[in-house]
Structure 1
């Protein structure tokens, strides 16, 4: 299994969600981005009870699933719209197994869990209860733990690391 990192997305601005402040407004950045054990340097999570921490340091979403949503909703779904840090292409992110390890450039990550979307996703999309619809499709992306830090950038290859 291999793919490519389409975009690296960090918080653009904090916005007021339906119930709390959120850092879901993520947008692509150019050039290399440092990755620490708690995620991308320059990114942020607001509600750390549910977001962030070592087991949710990064959130990955497949461009193929974003393309599916674009057709389903009849609108563009640019990288970062769903709050993902990493937009991928060529990986079966939806079918990724917990414990699976990916090498992204010089960084090593481990799939820890699928995303459980909250109401802030509905607010971001401007669609009432969208987070529930999003969850029902199973196209939710995955949270990743950083096992080896380094730098990544759009265009980096992503490979399944069978040796890790």
Structure 2
């Protein structure tokens, strides 16, 4: 596991399908050490703080292995941070990491909190109307991390997994239940047993479980 690129960017105004929106999606690689605080990297920011950012979504991580798939699918070359991620990484695919896993990256300590839930800005950034749905359907979403310990991170910092969550609920598994196998009550209960699950995904799964339980009555 290693970092291919460390990316930050402040919110800016962009034109998505004829509409001006504020977005922190556009990020650029940094070459020097960067401080990671509880809410984000130095120099980074989010525009829509209702749906992005916060303690549970301080760092967005995306596997570089998916870039070749998207370049073929979209028929174009993609720049680094094409998915608005802070860390473009190698060796951390969604099926290989779990919600609650803890990683040491440079001086900082991060914990996976949820899969990255793609929004319309991915589609707007690449001018592909159904790209948000495509990302969901493939499961190539990346994931979010919370910061357990702040510290400096270098673009070439090593990534070391220091602990695996005992429930071993992979990011890929959580994605599958959220978007595909939506009525699997046992799977939802398993995901909810992960204490490290973000508040937003916990709320969604609790609501879904209540609906399924009521339907059985």
Q: TM-score, normalised by structure 2?
A: 0.70
The aligned counterpart of 1:16 is 14
The aligned counterpart of 1:88 is 89
Q: What secondary structure is seen at the aligned counterpart in 2 of 1:161?
A: strand
> C-alpha root-mean-square deviation of aligned residues, in Å?
1.8
Per residue, is there more helix in 1 or in 2?
2
Q: What secondary structure is seen at the aligned counterpart in 2 of 1:123?
A: helix
Q: Which moved more, 1:95-104 or 1:10-19?
A: 10-19
Matched ranges for 1:34-113 at <5 A: 34-113=35-114
Q: Is the 8 A contact 2:102 2:163 kept in 1?
A: yes
Q: How many residues align?
A: 162
The aligned counterpart of 2:2 is 4
Please report how far the alpha carbon of residue 124 of structure 1 lies from its aligned counterpart in structure 2 after TM superposition. Answer: 0.2
Distance 2:158 2:13 in 1: 32
Q: Is the 8 A contact 2:11 2:45 kept in 1?
A: no
The aligned counterpart of 2:125 is 124
Q: Is the 8 A contact 1:94 1:139 kept in 2?
A: no
Matched ranges for 1:20-35 at <5 A: 20-35=21-36
Per residue, is there more strand in 1 or in 2?
1
TM-aligned CA distance change 1:42 to 1:89, over 3 Å: same
TM-aligned CA distance change 1:116 to 1:163, over 3 Å: closer
Q: What secondary structure is seen at the aligned counterpart in 2 of 1:40?
A: coil
Unaligned runs of 5+ in 1: none
Q: Is the 8 A contact 1:7 1:28 kept in 2?
A: yes
Distance 1:150 1:82 in 2: 24
Q: Is the 8 A contact 1:17 1:120 kept in 2?
A: no
Unaligned runs of 5+ in 2: 166-217
The aligned counterpart of 1:149 is 150
Q: What secondary structure is seen at the aligned counterpart in 1 of 2:163?
A: coil
Distance 2:43 2:31 in 1: 13
